C-alpha cells in the first residue's frame, strides 16, 4: 500500500485560485482603485447617455441621474490624484 500521487482526487480541486501577493492591491491604494472604478463606470454611463441624446432617444431620468452621480463620485474621489483615466461630463 503506497501513497496515491494523483492530485485530481483533492477535495479542493473545485475551489477558486488564490490571488498571488504580487497582484493584490496594497491597503493604501484601495480608495484610489475604488475611485477610479467609479469614475470609469460614470464615464461609460455618460457615454451611453450622450449617445442616446444624439440619436434623439429620450433618456430615462433615473439613468441620467445615476450616470451623473457616478461621475461626480469619481471626480470627487480622484481630486488631486494623478491618474490616466479620462472622463467627460455632460455640459448643460
Could you tell me the pTM of the whole model? 0.39
Residue 86 located in a structural domain? no
Domain count of the fold of the chain: 1
Residue 92 located in a structural domain? no
The C-alpha angle 28, 34, 38, rounded to 5 degrees, equals 155
Residue 15 located in a structural domain? no
Residue 19 located in a structural domain? no
Residue 85 located in a structural domain? no
- pLDDT at residue 83, rounded to an integer: 52
Residue 41 located in a structural domain? yes
The domain of 49 spans 28-78
Residue 73 located in a structural domain? yes
pLDDT along the chain (92 residues), means of 10: 55 66 75 82 78 63 72 70 52 50
- pLDDT at residue 12, rounded to an integer: 60
Amino acid at each position: 500500500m503506497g501513497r496515491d500521487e494523483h492530485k485530481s482526487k483533492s477535495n479542493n480541486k473545485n475551489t477558486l485560485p488564490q490571488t498571488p501577493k504580487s497582484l493584490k492591491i496594497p491597503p493604501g491604494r484601495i480608495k484610489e482603485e475604488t475611485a477610479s472604478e467609479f469614475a470609469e463606470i460614470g464615464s461609460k454611463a455618460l457615454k451611453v447617455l450622450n449617445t442616446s441624446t444624439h440619436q434623439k432617444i429620450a433618456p430615462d431620468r433615473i439613468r441620467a441621474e445615476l450616470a451623473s452621480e457616478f461621475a461626480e463620485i469619481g471626480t470627487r474621489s480622484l481630486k488631486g490624484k494623478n491618474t490616466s483615466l479620462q472622463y467627460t461630463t455632460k455640459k448643460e
